[in-house]
Chain A
């Protein structure tokens, strides 16, 4: 099929234009071997002919610096494997920012591919008083020019009509090789842009006053910082509490589904596989969907409105202290809800080393899956003593756990930046776009994209692993007609039980016995699963897959049981283990997807396990020395 590539600067409205050209029929994938997203989709030309539109990553020039820009360059030069040379190009420029956008157009023109120039955001330019002679612009550039307002779907069919004209008239040509861009060439290009604009503009657009006005608050040293804190707390709040209700619905739906399917199947291994393996496993992933959607709603809105670049500017100094980029704070903040959207959000970090560092430390921040475990252990072991006023010891411990997670993430970021991912701090050089209202449609499409990526990518891996874990926990079965013996619950006969007993010598220095080791195995798939695993191991009464009321009762019973069986040193050691250990298959799966290599998830698992082991070891021995053993 005919492929038309869409190229332009970042923030020129290219993505919105792409969305309008293709609608929701777009396909999102990865370019082989890199984490750059490949977005393409069909568009219908006025004549009825369908062409494939390929949305290239935004770039300021073909002098590629980031992996994204490298892809754009390679595709346009026909050097990208598995991607045919585009048959034609749509160059997109922001009408209010021609001074800097036209430079790329001149570079694209050198390629010699048939090209249409879409002068986008014409409505904004009109409002700002720009009088542009499009005919003259087209004559000077030597390419057809179409005005467009992508957010209002204006100019879309005109662009496609022009593309059809070009495809009909021009013979295909291979793109010319690009010479190494020198400073002289850049200067000459800008001089040409100036000359073209002098000839084609009757009246220049006024600078946006309202962007300046908003920036006077948003970038103000005091108000800007306060606003940032408000935005961040709102986001945190949203992920934490607004997501609760839909999460409860999903949980309830899943347990109802499990119950219904269970009744349908009748007792037996198949029922156990479907309900405890497949439904419980996939359900554990589905539960995170509301948080991910809410988080990305915020991120997309902040990104599209132009605030994100400003937030990165405000945070650059602070993040720079631990060797991270200003943009790294959003992923780290998001990881407090869940590391999965956090890791996915690192895509906005251009520099590879910066991005990898952020991905590696993101799972150390306290995600919501640790919360149930913290709650259980705190209620079992920490007395709810009033310290002063409304401050209670339990609350302080919880806060301490959060702080410990964040601090360890920042320290590890420093360590990685000083060792494995050492390198010069990349320059900031960030263009702050003018503020605009995000397009509703684009945000919806963006959400849909994230959501399906998450479900598809994490889902397939999780499904497989949940089934494996289910098998390990369920087989072999204990001998039939065994009397209930609290010392030997059914799980102790299973592979997981055997593994737990084998592992015991290894975890004994941490103050853990084989029961904790057994519970840690399913807890490795997803942290909060450890609670139900502990319930199984300690044979606590109460059905965990049923109603919430039962679940709470069971949790209380479990807390009571744990308080009787464990020493405080063991409990503290397990808490430290939970702060530091990487017990989340979804995180590893997403890291694998985002970095396109097993190396980084392996490193993540390795360093976090080592850290957790050392931390728990020290905690247990220190606590025992204090007489808490």
Chain B
């Protein structure tokens, strides 16, 4: 079991959200809730940033900087 932040994950990796730091309500509202499953499905060209994440049945594009506020337990 490894704890990391969402912004550090590579394409294809997934995990379970452990906690959400600042920007809390903003990230929570868009679906980054503790206990939810997240998966990185796409990385943008040019530096692999921003990323597209699947969470609660939706695809969310966000920059790694913001994704780093989400702490995840890596599953694969």
At the interface, yes or no: A183 with Cβ under 8 Å from chain B?
yes
Question: Which bracket fits the contact residues of A?
Answer: 35 or more
| Chain A, range 197-226, C-beta contacts under 8 Å to B | 207, 211-212, 215, 219, 221-222, 224-225
Q: What distance in Å separates the Cβ of A417 from its nearest Cβ neighbour in chain B?
A: 16
Please judge, given known A-B contacts A314-B45, A427-B23, A429-B26, whether A190 and B33 are in contact too, CB under 8 Å.
yes
> Could you write out 21 A-B pairs with CB less than 8 Å apart?
A60-B29, A99-B31, A99-B57, A100-B31, A181-B25, A186-B28, A190-B28, A207-B57, A215-B52, A312-B61, A313-B42, A313-B50, A317-B47, A317-B49, A427-B26, A427-B65, A428-B63, A429-B27, A429-B60, A431-B58, A432-B59
| Chain B, range 29-72, C-beta contacts under 8 Å to A | 29-31, 33-34, 41-47, 49-50, 52, 56-63, 65-66
At the interface, yes or no: A624 with Cβ under 8 Å from chain B?
no
Residue of B nearest to A316 (CB): B50
Structural contact, B57 and A97, CB atoms closer than 8 A: yes
- Please give, as numbers and ranges, the residues of chain B lying within 8 Å of A63 by CB-CB distance: 25, 29
Structural contact, B63 and A221, CB atoms closer than 8 A: no
Q: What distance in Å separates the Cβ of B36 from its nearest Cβ neighbour in chain A?
A: 9
Structural contact, B33 and A430, CB atoms closer than 8 A: no
At the interface, yes or no: A65 with Cβ under 8 Å from chain B?
yes
Structural contact, A219 and B52, CB atoms closer than 8 A: yes
Among A225, A427, A431: residue with most chain B CB under 10 A:
A427
Q: Which of B30, B33, B34, B56 is within 8 Å of A429, CB to CB? A: B30
Structural contact, B42 and A431, CB atoms closer than 8 A: no
- Please give, as numbers and ranges, the residues of chain B lying within 8 Å of A430 by CB-CB distance: 60-62
Interface residues of B (CB under 8 A from A): 20, 23-31, 33-34, 41-47, 49-50, 52, 56-63, 65-66
Please report the C-alpha to C-alpha distance between residue A494 and residue B43 in the assembled complex, in whole angstroms.
Answer: 62
Residue of A nearest to B23 (CB): A427
Please report the C-alpha to C-alpha distance between residue A215 and residue B60 in the assembled complex, in whole angstroms.
Answer: 13
**7 closest pairs, A vs B, by CB?**
A432-B59, A221-B45, A219-B42, A313-B61, A186-B28, A430-B61, A183-B24
Please report the C-alpha to C-alpha distance between residue A318 and residue B49 in the assembled complex, in whole angstroms.
Answer: 10
Chain A 307-333: CB-based contact to B (< 8 A → 1; otherwise 0): 001001110111000000000000000
Structural contact, A187 and B44, CB atoms closer than 8 A: no
- Please give, as numbers and ranges, the residues of chain A lying within 8 Å of B58 by CB-CB distance: 97, 99-100, 431-432
Please report the C-alpha to C-alpha distance between residue A339 and residue B63 in the assembled complex, in whole angstroms.
Answer: 29
Q: What distance in Å separates the Cβ of B28 from its nearest Cβ neighbour in chain A?
A: 4
At the interface, yes or no: A61 with Cβ under 8 Å from chain B?
yes
Structural contact, A429 and B62, CB atoms closer than 8 A: yes
Known contacts A215-B52, A430-B62; 7 additional CB pairs below 8 A are: A224-B45, A313-B52, A427-B23, A427-B65, A428-B61, A428-B62, A432-B61
Structural contact, A187 and B31, CB atoms closer than 8 A: no
Helix, strand, loop or mixed for chain B's interface?
Answer: mixed
At the interface, yes or no: A182 with Cβ under 8 Å from chain B?
yes
- Please give, as numbers and ranges, the residues of chain B lying within 8 Å of A316 by CB-CB distance: 44, 50, 61, 63
- Please give, as numbers and ranges, the residues of chain B lying within 8 Å of A114 by CB-CB distance: none
At the interface, yes or no: A42 with Cβ under 8 Å from chain B?
no
Please report the C-alpha to C-alpha distance between residue A274 and residue B4 in the assembled complex, in whole angstroms.
Answer: 72
Structural contact, B29 and A432, CB atoms closer than 8 A: no
Structural contact, A314 and B44, CB atoms closer than 8 A: yes
Please report the C-alpha to C-alpha distance between residue A465 and residue B13 in the assembled complex, in whole angstroms.
Answer: 60
At the interface, yes or no: A103 with Cβ under 8 Å from chain B?
yes
Please report the C-alpha to C-alpha distance between residue A207 and residue B20 in the assembled complex, in whole angstroms.
Answer: 25
Please report the C-alpha to C-alpha distance between residue A429 and residue B57 in the assembled complex, in whole angstroms.
Answer: 15
- Please give, as numbers and ranges, the residues of chain B lying within 8 Å of A181 by CB-CB distance: 25
- Please give, as numbers and ranges, the residues of chain A lying within 8 Å of B23 by CB-CB distance: 427
- Please give, as numbers and ranges, the residues of chain A lying within 8 Å of B57 by CB-CB distance: 97, 99-100, 207
Please report the C-alpha to C-alpha distance between residue A12 and residue B60 in the assembled complex, in whole angstroms.
Answer: 15
- Please give, as numbers and ranges, the residues of chain A lying within 8 Å of B27 by CB-CB distance: 429
Please judge, given known A-B contacts A207-B57, A215-B41, A432-B61, whether A103 and B29 are in contact too, CB under 8 Å.
yes
Residue of A nearest to B42 (CB): A219
- Please give, as numbers and ranges, the residues of chain A lying within 8 Å of B44 by CB-CB distance: 219, 221, 313-314, 316-317
| Chain A, range 54-68, C-beta contacts under 8 Å to B | 60-61, 63, 65
Structural contact, B29 and A221, CB atoms closer than 8 A: no
Structural contact, B61 and A186, CB atoms closer than 8 A: no
Chain A 259-272: CB-based contact to B (< 8 A → 1; otherwise 0): 00000000000000
Please report the C-alpha to C-alpha distance between residue A427 and residue B42 in the assembled complex, in whole angstroms.
Answer: 18
- Please give, as numbers and ranges, the residues of chain A lying within 8 Å of B26 by CB-CB distance: 65, 427, 429
- Please give, as numbers and ranges, the residues of chain B lying within 8 Å of A222 by CB-CB distance: 45
Chain A 82-103: CB-based contact to B (< 8 A → 1; otherwise 0): 0000000000000001011001
Please report the C-alpha to C-alpha distance between residue A215 and residue B56 in the assembled complex, in whole angstroms.
Answer: 18
Q: What distance in Å separates the Cβ of B69 from its nearest Cβ neighbour in chain A?
A: 9
Structural contact, A431 and B52, CB atoms closer than 8 A: no
Please report the C-alpha to C-alpha distance between residue A429 and residue B44 in the assembled complex, in whole angstroms.
Answer: 14
Residue of B nearest to A320 (CB): B63
- Please give, as numbers and ranges, the residues of chain B lying within 8 Å of A219 by CB-CB distance: 42, 44, 52
Residue of A nearest to B33 (CB): A190
| Chain A, range 327-350, C-beta contacts under 8 Å to B | none
Please report the C-alpha to C-alpha distance between residue A181 and residue B26 in the assembled complex, in whole angstroms.
Answer: 11
- Please give, as numbers and ranges, the residues of chain B lying within 8 Å of A60 by CB-CB distance: 29-30
Please report the C-alpha to C-alpha distance between residue A219 and residue B42 in the assembled complex, in whole angstroms.
Answer: 7
Please report the C-alpha to C-alpha distance between residue A431 and residue B31 in the assembled complex, in whole angstroms.
Answer: 10
Residue of B nearest to A222 (CB): B45
Residue of A nearest to B55 (CB): A100
Among B30, B43, B50: residue with most chain A CB under 10 A:
B50
Q: What distance in Å separates the Cβ of A186 from its nearest Cβ neighbour in chain B?
A: 4
Q: What distance in Å separates the Cβ of B9 from its nearest Cβ neighbour in chain A?
A: 16
Please report the C-alpha to C-alpha distance between residue A65 and residue B30 in the assembled complex, in whole angstroms.
Answer: 13
Structural contact, A431 and B59, CB atoms closer than 8 A: yes
Residue of B nearest to A314 (CB): B44
| Chain A, range 290-317, C-beta contacts under 8 Å to B | 309, 312-314, 316-317
Q: What distance in Å separates the Cβ of A614 from its nearest Cβ neighbour in chain B?
A: 33
